[in-house]
Amino acid sequence: MSDVLMPRLSDTMEEGVLSLWLKHEGDAVRKGDALAEIETDKATMELEAYEDGVLEQVLVAEGTTVAIGGRLAVIGDGSGGSGSDGTGSAATPTVDPAQTEATPAPTSAETASTTAPSSPPTDVASARSATGQTSAPAAAPAASAGPVRTSPLARRIAKEHGLDLNQVTGTGPGGRIVRADVEAAVAAGGPGAPGAAQRAGTPASTTAPSTTVAAPVAKPQQDDEVVPLNAVRRITAERLTQSAAAPQFYLTALVEADRLLALRSEVNAGLAARAGEDAPVKVSVTDLLVRVCALVLRQHPEVNASWGGDAILRHRHVNVGVAVAMDDGLIVPVVHDADTLPLADIATRTRDLAERGRTGRLKPDEFSGGTFTISNLGMYGIDHFTAVVNPPEAAILAVGAGTQEAVVRDGQVVVRTIIKMTLTSDHRVLDGATAAAFLRDLKAALESPLSVLL
Amino acid sequence: MTVMTYRQALNETLRAELARDPSVILIGEEIGVFEGSYKITAGLLAEFGPERVRDTPIAEEGFVGAAVGAAMLGMRPVVELMTLNFSLIAIDQIVNHAAKIYAMFGGQCPVPMVIRTPGGGGQQLAATHSQNLEVWYAHVPGLKVVAPSTPADAKALMTAAIRDDDPVFVLENLSLYNTKGEVPDGEHVAEIGKAAVVKQGTDLTVVAYSRATVIALDVARQLEDQGISVEVVDLRSLRPLDRETVCASVRKTSRAVVLEDDWLTYGIGAELAATIQEGAFDYLDAPVRRVAAAEVPLPYAKPLERVALPDAAALTKVIHEVLDATRFSR
């Protein structure tokens, strides 16, 4: 009998959403079987069973947000005994009061019926008295759709700020509202905010999420549709709010793209002629940009860098991220070591990453570790735009649509395909001239794309 | 300051108190000619003679009772029990006599005696010789129980115990005898009943005593490197218990873990968890957690003994669980 807990699936993960149960109560499971899908800050991953047995209890309903370490299910031998006897590999008993909470408190009456309360163990000692594993005391009865669950500290801080705890989403074990939740709510515009969380007597709000800026927050009106935040939306908001705090500047260059587009046509014709070999792909403008940017970045290590708080980090690897729109958010899959990959490989990889990114099936290392980002809205006919730096990276390139324009060359008016590109830079890492030198070299490389062969 | 072992600190303290006060006597099994099973009384028979350093038969109830009588008549006996486990033979003298005489005789007759004895496991001494029974005595009004975790505290608390007019249980620990530390020269006396914040921190409080304090400090220093600031409170005295220092720390950090070498059930951790919820309830962001020994008679086999006792890894794991439960971020 053991508990299935919310695993830590990435360094930045604090909680996960149990989005789908793949096994159900009573199902036999084998070690390695996928039990459920977990949606983390940017990806959906499968939760694997760590042992053979029977999925005796499912403790959280689909769609529930659970903090790392929170209980999700119980795997046992099928006898369906106590819900938590704390059996683990360690012989040292430790009592986790959270483990005594047989089911998380449903946060609303609607979910109450979907969360089957388990019968709490009342006398685990009688079963295991000699083993030292009697550490879980008789469990508290499963909470019904009763009062809000909160830590005492969270309750006190909420009271100080006149905050209604019914309006706060708990992210602790079993949906418990903890200090971090209250402080986030206060910072997000609860009564007494902003700055009130800093008042004397309140423990320093070192755990407050970084989104706690005092930006105005709208209150829903009667006819507003309220769209709850999913994990991607929330992390995007958090990241971009962080980004806004960095001083940024913008440089725009007009790139003559005719040769680049000609090269693309030639390359694609060549790829099409190779039909029959494994999955020939078409190379997109974005793929060419990834390739060329990566090569130019290698010559400009000061741009292939990140803000490190007390230092600037110049990266050995050139990992280029490509912003991809999802139905309900944005994700930036990363092409690692893009400077070492042939164009066809980049094309294959970006297509695969984008497809899986759109459906939230990327692994953490496929959307992290980027050193530079490209955002291309050319396919929407956008002429020119600026992008927001993707922290902690130093710069992002916003790429508009290629448009035919009349330009003067050697005293003649000629037609050229012009792409407007805007580099947004974090001024803490990059200065104007440094960024300009990079953009100049990028423009030159894109206008003479065969130079990348050198 | 002089760097010395916990053992040396105890030895020198006994020597200093024997020299300072002629009413101080030592009594116990093999403490004279053999100089003590753990050599705490080394050299003292030769220096102070058999009137002051008395070897006894193997009869704990008898010599603890003799010490109670001596204390009632004005001596300050310091009894050595070879290990805490043997106090069970003398428990009636300790609980029903030493602890109660002052109150039951209307305050006419204090019992200024010390029972000093090592507890704890980890030495492959098997189940009957590895126990942490201090909580039995900490439960009894009329006794004081102190548990030094450092050589400096061994001196300060032993000195205070000998000079105290109540019976004081001084809990030593087998695995601490060889630990070294700086010990203040000259007079160094603790106030019995005061805990110490031995490491400042802001994120989580670990409460411990005796050997567990050493583990807690070790873990706290490692976590410091990861940006986690753990405060360590060393209880030093189990009775009286310094509830205020513990609660003040938890009011600051809002998270608490108790580490104890003893079994979990009805242990010091249980008392502290209750104390914390009484004195810092509105400051808690997560339930108080306890890390304790497996509830088994301690095995003799080394691998089994090792996993049965709480260690740094077990404490670290629980600290991370508490931090995760409160969405702690550095």
Q: Strands A320-322, A372-376: parallel, antiparallel or unpaired by DSSP?
A: parallel
| Contact between chains at B291 and A98 (C-beta distance less than 8 A) | no
What confidence score (pLDDT) does residue A238 get?
Answer: 79
Q: Least CB-CB distance to B329: which of A14, A70, A181?
A: A14
Which among A315, A317, A384, A427 is annotated as catalytic? A427
Tell me whether A97 touches chain B (CB under 8 Å). Answer: yes
Residue A226 has pLDDT above 60, yes or no: yes
| DSSP class of B295 | S
- ipTM of predicted assembly, 2 dp: 0.80
User: Residues of B with CB below 8 A from A309's CB?
Assistant: none
> Which of B252, B264, B328 has its CB closest to that of A207?
B328
Q: Does A209 touch chain B (CB under 8 A)?
A: yes
Q: What is the mean pLDDT of residues A216-228?
A: 77
Chain B nearest C-alpha distance from A173 (Å)? 6
A90–B325 CB contact, under 8 Å? no
The residue with greater pLDDT, A227 or B216, is: B216
pLDDT at A222: 74
pLDDT for res A194? 35
Contact residues, chain A, for B203 at CB < 8 Å: 206
Write down the pLDDT at residue B261.
Answer: 94
CB A394 within 8 A of CB A370: no
pLDDT digits (tens, 9 = 90+) for A9-61: 776 677 888 988 998 888 889 888 889 989 887 788 888 888 888 898 888 88
Comparing CB atoms, the residue among A92, A207, A209 nearest residue B310 is: A92
Mean pLDDT confidence for A373-380: 92
Q: Confirm or reject contact between B268 and chain A (CB < 8 A).
A: no
- Does B289 contact A at CB distance below 8 Å? yes
Residues of chain A with C-beta less than 8 angstroms from the C-beta of B252: 203
Answer whether A96 touches B (CB < 8 Å): yes
Q: Does B293 touch chain A (CB under 8 A)?
A: yes
Instruction: Tell me if A90 and B309 make a contact (CB, 8 A cut-off).
Output: no
**B291 → chain A, closest CA residue:** A94
**Sole residue written with tokens 């003679």:** B49
Q: Is A204 on the interface with B (CB under 8 A)?
A: yes
Of A70-74, A238-242, A252-256, B24-28, where does mean pLDDT reach its minimum? A238-242
Least confident segment among A120-129, A331-340, B219-228, B266-275:
A120-129
Instruction: Classify residue B285 as exposed, middle or buried by CB count within 10 Å of its CB (0-12, 13-18, 19+).
Output: buried
Active site residues of B: 60, 129
- With CB atoms and an 8 Å threshold, state whether A94 touches B314: yes
- Strands lying side by side in the sheet with B144-146: B53-55, B24-28, B76-80, B114-119, B168-173, B144-146, B237-239
Does the beta carbon of A174 lie under 8 angstroms from any beta carbon of chain B?
Answer: no
Q: Could you check whether B2-183 and B196-325 share the same CATH topology?
A: yes
pLDDT computed for residue A278 by the predictor: 61
CATH T-level topology, domain A246-453: Chloramphenicol Acetyltransferase (3.30.559)
Cβ-based neighbours of A156, under 8 Å, separated by 6 or more: B282, B283
Chain A residue numbers with beta carbons less than 8 Å from the beta carbon of B284 are 151-153
The answer, for B314 touching chain A at a CB cutoff of 8 Å, is: yes
pTM of the model: 0.55
| Minimum Cα–Cα distance from A172: chain B residue | B325
Residue A356 pLDDT class (50, 70, 90 cuts):
confident
Distance from CA of A191 to the nearest CA of B (A): 20
Does A152 contact B at CB distance below 8 Å? yes
Per-residue exposure over A399-422, b if at least 16 CB sit within 10 Å of its own CB, e if not:
bbbbeeeeeeeeeeeeebbbbbbb
From A308-312, A438-442, B93-97, the region with the lowest mean pLDDT: A308-312
Mean pLDDT, chain A, integer:
77
Q: Which of residues 221-260 of B touch A (CB under 8 A)?
A: 252-254
Residues of B in contact with A180 (CB under 8 A): 326-329
Assess B311–A contact: CB distance below 8 Å, yes or no. yes
What are the pLDDT digits (tens) for A143-164? 434 577 899 999 988 888 888 8
CA-based nearest distance B138→chain A, Å: 22
Instruction: Compute how many other C-beta atoms are within 10 angstroms of the C-beta atom of residue A389.
Output: 26
Cβ contact (<8 Å) for B327 and A178? yes
- The pLDDT profile of chain B, 330 residues, written as one tens digit per residue, is 999 999 999 999 999 999 999 999 999 999 999 999 999 999 999 999 999 999 999 999 999 999 999 999 999 999 999 999 999 999 999 999 999 999 999 999 999 999 999 999 999 999 999 999 999 999 999 999 999 999 999 999 999 999 999 999 999 999 999 999 999 999 999 999 999 999 999 999 999 999 999 999 999 999 999 999 999 999 999 999 999 999 999 999 999 999 999 999 999 999 999 999 999 999 999 999 999 999 999 999 999 999 999 999 999 999 999 998 898 876
Interface contact flag, B321 A69, Cβ < 8 Å: yes
Residues of B in contact with A242 (CB under 8 A): none
Could you list the beta-strand ranges (E) of A257-381.
305-307, 312-314, 320-322, 324-326, 329-331, 334-335, 372-376
Residue A276: per-residue pLDDT: 61
Nearest to B122 by CA among B325, B298, B250, B329: B298
- What is the DSSP code (8-state) at residue A148? P
Structural domain boundaries in chain A? 2-128, 152-239, 246-453
Residue pairs spanning A and B at CB distance below 8 A: 118
| Domain B196-325 in this protein, CATH class | alpha beta
Closest CA to B261 of B162, B174, B144, B156: B174
Q: Per the CB < 8 Å rule, is B289 touching A97?
A: yes
By three-state DSSP, how is residue A133 classified? coil
- Name every chain A residue with its beta carbon within 8 A of the beta carbon of B254: 153, 179, 203
The domain defined by A2-128 carries CATH number 2.40.50.100: yes
Q: Does A130 touch chain B (CB under 8 A)?
A: yes
- Is B286 close to A151, i.e. CB distance below 8 A? yes
B44 has a chain A CB within 8 A of its CB: no
Distances from the Cα of B209 to the Cαs of A10, A81, B50, B83, in angstroms?
36, 37, 35, 18
Inspect the interface and report whether the beta carbons of A181 and B327 lie closer than 8 Å. Answer: yes
Query: Residue B310: is the preceding peptide bond cis (ω within 30°)?
Result: no
Please state the domain extents for chain B: 2-183, 196-325
pLDDT at A145: 47
pLDDT classification of A199: cutoffs 50, 70, 90: very low
Contact B229, B219 (CB under 8 A): no
Give the CATH number of domain B2-183; options: 2.40.400.10, 3.40.50.970, 3.30.830.10, 3.40.50.2300: 3.40.50.970
